[in-house]
Amino acid sequence: MSTVELIATILGGLTVGSALMVVLSTHPVRSVLFLILTFFMISANYIMLNAQFIAIVNIIVYAGAIMVLFLFVLMLLNLSKDTEPKTSVLMKISAAIAGGVLATVLVAALKDAAFETIENADNTIGLVEQLGMLLFDKYVLPFEVSSILFISAMVGAVLLSKKEKQIID
């Protein structure tokens, strides 16, 4: 096993381990912190795959913005270990079996998938310059449309969380 493969295996193990801790830890804040760790690990995997731009954007958008939002809501609602809803043992066992079967089937189906080797694949595509050229040339319309998506999400969030007279109940 070469050094690169060893590093990739260790990174993969750490990614899977921290992802499992997100599901298994009982304290919600601890779950969020482990998810942030998982995102950093996935960013390290992106760097292994020569995708520097995506690695940085992953840290800024996911670990920096989305997870801080989650942490904010958790702390606003003042959730802790005592308020954490309990799942029954039967439910846990059946969920573990279902998840395990899904993983087994997918891994067994994909393990022997054969891919032809692509000669001289360009390994500089992950750099900001290359991706920027592609984003503002071929994908400029989806890029502009995504701003409309953001505006509607922002308006929706403000509208939903605005305090108004409750007519339910």
Partner 1 sequence: MEGTLLNSGVSLQFYIILATIIFCIGVLGVMIRRNAIIILMCVELMLNAVNLLMVAFSNYHGKGDGQIFVFFIMVVAAAEATVGLSILVLLYRNRKTVDIGLFNKLKD
Give, as ranges, the residues between 3 and 42 that touch partner 1 (CB under 8 A).
4-5, 8-9, 12, 15-16, 19-20, 22-23, 28, 31-32, 35, 38-39, 42
Among 110, 144, 165, 167, binds partner 1 (CB under 8 A): 110
Binding status of residue 140 toward partner 1 by CB under 8 A: no
Among 75, 89, 157, 167, binds partner 1 (CB under 8 A): 157
Token pair belonging to 120: 């001289």
Q: Are 53 and 131 in contact (CB under 8 A)?
A: yes
Cβ-based burial of 39 (10 A; exposed 0-12, middle 13-18, buried ≥19): buried
Binding status of residue 91 toward partner 1 by CB under 8 A: yes
Binding status of residue 90 toward partner 1 by CB under 8 A: no
CB of residue 23 to partner 1, shortest distance in Å: 4
Interface with partner 1 in residues 45-84 (CB under 8 A):
45-46, 48-51, 53-54, 57-58, 61-62, 65-66, 69-70, 73-74, 76-77, 79, 83-84
CA distances to 19, 45, 56, 150 from 13, in Å: 10, 11, 21, 35
DSSP class per residue in 108-121? HHHHT---PPPTT-
Among 82, 144, 161, 167, binds partner 1 (CB under 8 A): 161
DSSP state for residue 111 in the 8-state scheme: H
Among 87, 89, 144, 165, binds partner 1 (CB under 8 A): 87
CB of residue 50 to partner 1, shortest distance in Å: 6
Token pair belonging to 8: 């990739």
Q: Are 75 and 150 in contact (CB under 8 A)?
A: no
CB of residue 16 to partner 1, shortest distance in Å: 5
CA distances to 31, 32, 113, 119, 153 from 116, in Å: 40, 40, 10, 9, 42
